Amino acid sequence: MDQVFAVAWRYVVGLVLTEDLPMEAAQLLAVGFDSPALRDLAGRARRDDAVEIRGLFRQAMGELGTGVPDWESAERCYLHHLAGQLAAGTGTPREVAANIWRRLTEAQTGPELEFLQAVGDEYYVEFISNERPDAYQAWETALRSAAEQLSQTTSAEIGGLRERSRSATG
């Protein structure tokens, strides 16, 4: 997933706050991305007008050839991101599940739906973690397996979501 689109979907789902967009722009400049709006945004202060910052961000994304995704597409990117973290071992099943439970996550493909189903309900996981360690271990195994399956489809899915965002703004 390219860095520019990752900033865009992370912003939509609230992982990047409006006041953090100037720093995100500066980081994109530092790794070689460049556009007039991106430079302007990188020079802004966190306390600058939020409406102006959001406008510059959208303009910069357009200048860099990436649209800002709609909520559904951004949530699906987040779902793939969480599955990738779990599959790579950089997140635990409980951490990934907690991030999903905090949000209403969109899913459309079979692997996305299977991953969400494997996450299950918070109350159930809390119960089995305390009362049935064997069931908890089975849940962790099933969730890791679903994450592996979803992470194998991530590049193609995210590419499609990126294209959808581009065509919606272009």
Residue 53 confidence (pLDDT): 97
Residue 135 lies in a domain: yes
Same domain for 75 and 35: no
Which residue in this structure is represented by tokens 């992982």? Answer: 15
Same domain for 144 and 85: yes
Task: Convert the pLDDT of each residue in 117-149 to its tens digit.
Answer: 999 888 888 888 888 999 999 999 999 999 999
Same domain for 80 and 53: no
Q: Other CB atoms closer than 10 Å to residue 36's CB: what's the count?
A: 11
Residue 104 confidence (pLDDT): 66
Residue 1 confidence (pLDDT): 43
Same domain for 75 and 38: no
Same domain for 97 and 119: yes
| Distance (Å, whole) CA 32 – CA 113 | 36
Which positions ≥6 away from 117 have C-beta within 8 Å?
146
Residue 44 DSSP code: S
Q: Other CB atoms closer than 10 Å to residue 89's CB: what's the count?
A: 8
Which positions ≥6 away from 59 have C-beta within 8 Å?
37
Same domain for 75 and 133: yes
Same domain for 81 and 45: no
The number of domains in the chain is 2
Same domain for 84 and 58: no
**Helix/strand/coil percent split, the chain, to 5:** 75, 0, 25
- Ranges in the chain, pLDDT < 50: 1
Residue 108 lies in a domain: yes
Residue 55 lies in a domain: yes
Same domain for 82 and 143: yes
Q: What is the pTM of this model?
A: 0.83
- Within the chain, strands assigned E span none
Residue 159 lies in a domain: no
Which residues constitute the domain of residue 59?
3-63
Residue 168 lies in a domain: no
Same domain for 75 and 58: no
Taking Cα atoms as reference points, which of 123, 122, 114 lies closest to residue 142? 114
Same domain for 145 and 121: yes
Same domain for 78 and 59: no
